[in-house]
Amino acid sequence: ADKDGYYSFNFTMPESVTEWNWKMLAHTKSTKFVYAERKLNTQLPLMVQPNMPRLLYQGDRIVLLSRITNLDSTDIGGKIICKIEDAVTGNDLTAMLVITTQKTFSINKRSNIAEAFEIKVPQQQLNPLKIIITVRSENFADGEDHIIPILSPAIFVRESIAFSLGKADSSIQIPALPTDAKFFGIGLGIQPKPQSAL
């Protein structure tokens, strides 16, 4: 406490951009007490909010935009970094997928800007990607990570062909496919046909 009896202390909040209930209770040895309750809003002076897609396709090329917000009363400069990992194996894929992994930025007080990273998803990528966007200044840092599923751009098409079995050998011809199509396989199904009544 200071000479006037005012207490001050510092602590770290576990989350930002959140409303908290702040409750205080003070008492003396002679059982005099006081209770107070307040609402606190916490937020970081520097925040990043990436505009993540819901999903990506193999071979996609996207520009990932991120908004950087400065809530402080002074100008802030720093770096924004993009890191990409395989969500299943944990391997760092940043060098393969991102052309420029980090950029410098400068934001005026109480304003925001947008920064972008160009991402190219390899054709052979099957596992989901963990995309991590972080910003760092001299005094503050913030970041977000998202797991994005990767889908194949291929479309599965099934075609049914009727044929009949006779006394001689029967052969089934593969249907004509488009030039960019890949043959998956053949399935044979025999449907029973009820005997006709004579």
Whether 167 has a pLDDT exceeding 80, the answer reads no
% of the chain beyond a pLDDT of 70: 91
Give the model's confidence band at 36: pLDDT under 50 very low, under 70 low, under 90 confident, else very high: very high
Least confident residue range of 49-63, 64-78, 138-152, 176-190: 176-190
Q: How far apart are CA 93 and CA 86, in angstroms?
A: 7
Q: How far apart are CA 150 and CA 81, in angstroms?
A: 22
DSSP β-bridge partners for residue 83:
132
Backbone CA torsion sign across 116, 146, 85, 102:
positive
For residue 66, give both structure tokens.
């991120």
Q: What is the pLDDT of residue 88?
A: 94
Least confident residue range of 40-49, 59-68, 96-105: 40-49
- Pairing label, strands 56-57, 150-151: parallel
Residue 150 near residue 121 (C-beta atoms within 8 A): yes
- Tens of pLDDT, residues 108-120: 999 999 999 999 9
Q: What is the pLDDT of residue 17?
A: 66
Q: What is the pLDDT of residue 194?
A: 66
Question: Comparing 196 with 32, which gets the higher pLDDT?
Answer: 32
